Amino acid sequence: MPDLTHNEWEAVLDTMERGIATAANAQHDDAVDASPGWHPPSDPGPLPADLVGRARRIQAAQRSIVDQLRSAVRENRQHHALLGAVNASTARPGAVYLDVAG
| Residue at 36 is within a domain | no
Residue whose C-alpha is closest to residue 57's, from 21, 3, 17, 9 = 17
How many whole angstroms separate alpha carbon 85 and alpha carbon 88? Answer: 5
Is 1 within 8 Å of 46 (Cβ atoms)? no
Q: pLDDT value at position 66?
A: 92
Please say whether the beta carbons of 17 and 58 come within 8 A: yes
Residue 72 forms part of a structural domain: yes
Mean pLDDT to the nearest integer, 1-14: 79
Residue 99 lies in a domain: no
Number of domains in the chain: 1
For residue 55, the model assigns a pLDDT of 96
Examine residue 101 and state whether it is found in any structural domain, yes or no.
Answer: no
4 or 55, which is more confident?
55
Residue 2 has pLDDT above 60, yes or no: no
Is 92 inside a domain boundary? no
Domain that holds residue 62: 6-31+48-87
> From CA 88, how far away is CA 44, in angstroms rounded?
55
Per-residue model confidence (pLDDT) at position 1: 44
d(CA 74, CA 57): 26
Asked if residue 69 belongs to a domain, the reply is yes
- Which pLDDT tens digit goes with each residue over 24-79? 887 776 665 665 666 777 777 889 999 999 999 999 999 999 999 899 889 989 98
What pLDDT, on a 0 to 100 scale, did the predictor assign at position 69? 87
